[in-house]
Structure 1
Amino acid sequence: MDETDAQPHPHEPHAEGLATKLNWLRAGVLGANDGIVSTAGLVIGVAAATTDTANILTAGIAGLTAGAISMAAGEYVSVSTQRDSEKALLAKEKRELAEEPDYELAELAQIYEAKGLSKETARQVAEELTAHDAFLAHAEAELGLNPKELTNPWQAAISSAVSFTLGALLPLLAIVLLPVSARIPVTFVAVLVALAITGSVSARLGGSNPRRAVLRVVLGGALAMAVTYGIGQLADISGL
């Protein structure tokens, strides 16, 4: 046998794990994008109403903290619900394997037969996988789950909070470190550039069109900052 034939395909064994990592990375980029937009809108709105750096910084830190906690809590609840559903499905599958092993074996064989294997080969594959690890074989084939790699709500929550915070730091630092005359326009431009980068990265990770993704996220961010700037200007004029 040719030596190259004996080597596994570089993408097949780890395709699922790679896809999971890419999804987490994309979620992190989107979290950073949320931090950029929400914090930029907040600090630019406050900066339009006052030049007091302490007030702007206080508002920015409050927005960053609230946003990070909100993102973490939302992600924790969402992933916890998903994990509970996955555990319930796995428990049901384990119970069915214990109560109806012959039926489950036939079901597993049918799954592989539906994927293109001959009836005999599908049966043989099902028997060998069942002999090795019946629960894992059924969980992966029927449910698309690996019992050892269930989603982790704490990991999701921490990842969301960190990515949001990192994104939020850009407009917050820009608005408080720059001179008063330059803080709003420079922050506006810096935020749009950062959004273009995050939009492009997110699109490439998701396999979509980068140009469209960048356009959407940049226009959305620009609109958010323009609206909050206008509200800040109105608040300043009215003396609120």
Structure 2
Amino acid sequence: MARQGRQLDQRFTAALMTAQVAGVHLGISQNTIKEWIRSGDEAAVMHSVPPPSPHGPRLPFIALAEAQILRELRNAKLSMQHIRAGVARLRKLTGEEYVLATRTIATDGVDLLFNAASEVAPEWVRAVDGQAGIRQVVETAIKFVSYADDGYAERVTLKPYGAAQVIIDPRFGFGQPVFEASKVPVETIADLFYGGGESVEDIADEYDLSTEDVETVLRVMARRAA
């Protein structure tokens, strides 16, 4: 995709969430997300856009897709120093600024990431325990990302919701988390329970959901006040 096209694509430009809200839905601490979007002397490993207000959202959809890869790299105990070095080298090798959110990662990019990482530092090739390779880390992460015909991410399945199958897709729910099948926003479910006082059973019946799905949403959304 040309740079001009990205400037018009809301996946790259529309601010959807704050770090705190994104952290709830992604299962990542907001401080970690803030670290990923902080550039300092180097380019940030996760993208952000100018917020519409001083405390407004600054994370576009594409950043949430990038977070999938970054989360798994960190779960594999890789240091941020080596992650930043690996991402920088990948960008240089591919010429792609959004390399962590492209289909390249899901195809030949897995080998590319593995090979590029080995040229950066041994820690990129194997995690601290000496077992988990970068290939396995990336393959785990991309299970939660779907790609559009242009090669960039278009949908993220939110891992903390498990079998409830909650997604973020800019085409639905104004880019906020919705159930994949019905496109019912999870915010609606939480508001009915916490604000409206409706029971789990009544909510499940009203929106044709299982009580387990409703309970999962409430458990994840309860982190908003944590």
Mark yes or no: TM-score above 0.5.
no
Structure richer in strand, relative to its length: 2
Which structure carries more relative contact order (alpha carbon 8 Å, separation 6+)?
1
Q: What's the TM-score once normalised by structure 1's chain length?
A: 0.25
Q: What's the TM-score once normalised by structure 2's chain length?
A: 0.27
Select the structure of larger CA radius of gyration.
1
